[in-house]
Amino acid sequence: MIRLLFFFLIVAGFAAGAVWLSDQPGSLSLNWSGYEIRITLLGAVIVAVIGFSILYAVLRLIGVAVRAPANAAKSMRLHRREKGLEALSGGLIAVSSGHVKLADKLSAKARKLMPGEPMTLLLQAQAAQLKGDAKAAGQVYRAMLEGEKTQTLGLHGLFNEARRMGDNQVAMVIAERAVDVEPDSPWATPALMDLQAAEGDWIAAGQSLERKKRYKLIDKAGGRRQQAVLLTAQAMETEDQTPESALDMALKAHKLAPDLVPAAVIAGRLLSGKGRIAKAAKVLEKTWKQCPHPDIADIYAHMKLGDKPQARLKRVRFLVHNNPDHLEAGLALANAAIGAQDWKLARSALEPHLGEATRRVCSAMAEIEDGEFGDKGRVREWLSRALRAKADPMWIADGVASPVWAPVSPVTGKLDAFVWKVPPASLPGPERDEDGEIDLNPEPEGTDGAEAARLPGPKDEAPEPGKDGEHAEDAKVIEAEPAEPAKPAEPPKTSEPAPRQEASEPARKKAETTQYTGRVDVVLPQPDDPGPPGDDVEMPGQPGYRLYS
C-alpha cells in the first residue's frame, strides 16, 4: 500500500512539473548547418530524458557484455561447488553407513569438483580408514598439516591412527604438538594427560590437568577428582620409600575426594602406623559414610596392633553404625564377630543379606556354621551355595574386572576409570537344561520346591559328594583358602589316621598388602559350563577382594 502511494506521488509530481513547464513562455532554438530547430521548453526536457535513458541502456549493455565471461565462469564454479557439496554430503553419509565403494567414489568426485577444500581431505581420510588403508589415511592427514585451518584436524587424525596401532609414544608426540598448536583444543590436552598417566608420569599428567583447568576443559568437580587420583597414584608409588610424602599426598587426595577409597586406605594405614589413631579413624569414617568398602573396614579394625578380637569387634561396631544397612557393613561386622567367636552376632549381621547372598556372605555363613555348631553338612551346603551365588563387587574398568584398584584403565589408559561394582558378566544367568533350553522354573539342586522356598536357610542334610565340584571353576575369581570337604563313607581302616579337619580352622586370613605396579591382573568372567564334577570344593576366602590388609 505504501509503495502504491509512493508511486502515485511520483507520477503526480512529474505531471505537475510537465504542466508547469508547458505554462512557461519561451522556447529553445538550434542553428546548425543552415538549419534552425525550435522546440518548446517541455519538449526539450522530454528529449533530454529520452536521450539519457538511451545512453544508460547502451552503457549497461556494454557492461554486461564485458562481464559476461566472468559471470559465466562464476556460475560454473557455483554449479561445481553445489555438485561438490552434494558429493561431500553423500560421501560422509556413506562413511557413516559403512558403504566403502560409494564413499570412495563420492570422495574422488568431491575432490575433483572442489579441489583444495579441507572437508574433501577429511572425507578422503575417512574413506581410506573405512577401506582399512591406514597408509593412505596417514598420507591425507599429513597433507592436512600443511594448511593452517586443517593442521589441528590432521594432528587429530594422526593421533587416532597412532592409538589404533598401539604406538603410544608416537601418539604422545602428536598430542604434544597439537597442544602447542592449539592449547585450548578440547581433545589434545585430555588425550595427552591420559597418555602421561598411562605411562606413570604423574607429574606431567598433573601439569596437563592444570592446563585443562586453565582453559576450562573440565569442570571444578571433575578437576578435583582427577587431581585426587593423581595424588593417590603418587602416594601408592612412594609409600615404601618416602612414607611422609606419601601420607601428605594421600591426605590431600582425601580432602579433594573423600569418596576415593584408595586414598583413605593409604592415609588410614600410614596414620595408624604412626600411632595417630584418632586421625586415621576420622579419615576412614568419612570415606565409609560415602562409600563403604571392605578395605576400609579391614584397616579400621586393625588400626591398633595387638588388639584383642573383642576390641576389634567393638571398633567395627562403631564404624558400621554410620551405614548399618549396607552389605559391606554386615560383612565387616560379621567378620569381626567371627574373630571374636560371637556367633550369634555374626549370624544376625548377615541375616538381612541372606535373601540375595553373595559369595562372601555364603562363605561367612559356612564359617559361622562350622565355628558355632561344627555341622559339616551345613558347612558344605553353604560352600556349594557360594559357588552358585552372584559375585561380590570388584574394581571394573572398560570391561576388565580386577581385585585391586589402579589409577588408569589397563585397556584405554583413561584416568580414574575403575569403579567398585558387581561385574556384569559374573551375575548368575538363567539355567538351561541338557538341550540348551532355558528352564523357566529352576530349583536348587538336591531340593524340592518346598525346600527351595525355605532358602536362604541351608538344608540340614549334606549334599551328594559328586555335586560339590560342579561350579569349582567359578571359585577362581574368589580369593580362597582350601578346606577339606566331607568325604563319602568308606570302610574304616585302622592303619590310616583320621582325615585332618581343616574346615574347623578359621578360613579368614589377612590379605597381603597389594601395591599398584602399573599392571592389572584381568579376572575374566567364568563360563556357564562349570566343567566336570569333582569331589573337592574350594572354600572362598572370607575377606573377599581386598586392596590392602
Q: Give the pLDDT band (50/70/90) at residue 229.
A: very high
Retrieve residue 427's grid coordinates. 551375575
Distance CA 250, CA 33 (A): 113
Element (H, E) at 455: none
> Pairing mode, if any, of strands 27-32 and 394-397?
unpaired
Please report how many Cα atoms fall inside a 13 Å half-sphere around the Cα of residue 282, on the Cβ side: 8
Please report which residue ranges of 145-258 form alpha helices under DSSP H. 151-165, 168-181, 188-198, 202-214, 220-238, 243-256
Distance CA 169, CA 199 (A): 10
Distance CA 227, CA 224 (A): 5
Q: SS3 letters for 140-152?
A: HHHHHCCCCCCHH
Q: Tell me: the pLDDT tens digits for 424-440? A: 854 443 344 454 443 43
Q: Is 386 helix (H, G, I), strand (E, B) or coil?
A: helix
Q: Is the pLDDT of residue 482 over 80?
A: no
**Contact (Cβ atoms closer than 8 angstroms) between residue 120 and residue 107:** yes
Q: Tell me the mean pLDDT in the region 163-190.
A: 93
Q: Tell me the mean pLDDT in the region 143-166.
A: 90
Who has greater pLDDT, 1 or 104?
104
Q: Tell me the mean pLDDT in the region 244-261.
A: 97
Q: What is the pTM of this model?
A: 0.65
Say what the pLDDT of residue 474 is.
39
Task: Find the radius of gyration of the CA atoms of the chain.
Answer: 41
Percent of the chain with pLDDT over 70: 77
User: Cell 586453565 identifies what position?
Assistant: 214
Q: Tell me the mean pLDDT in the region 56-70.
A: 91
Say what the pLDDT of residue 10 is.
85
Retrieve residue 194's grid coordinates. 591420559
Q: Is the pLDDT of residue 7 over 90?
A: no
Q: Tell me the mean pLDDT in the region 280-292.
A: 96
Residue 372 Cα distances to 138, 231, 244, 376, 461, angstroms: 69, 45, 44, 11, 17
Say what the pLDDT of residue 425 is.
56
Q: At what angle do helices 100-113 and 41-97 cross, to 10 degrees?
A: 150
Instruction: Report the alpha-carbon angle 232-518-162, nearest 5.
Output: 110
Who has greater pLDDT, 66 or 471?
66
Distance CA 268, CA 254 (A): 10
> Pairing mode, if any, of strands 400-402 and 27-32?
unpaired
Please report how many Cα atoms fall inside a 13 Å half-sphere around the Cα of residue 484, on the Cβ side: 10
Q: Is the pLDDT of residue 125 over 50?
A: yes
CATH of domain 133-215: 1.25.40
- Going by C-alpha positions, the residue among 467, 466, 447, 469 that lies closest to residue 458 is 447
Which DSSP symbol is given to 242?
Answer: -
CA 314 to chain centre: 40
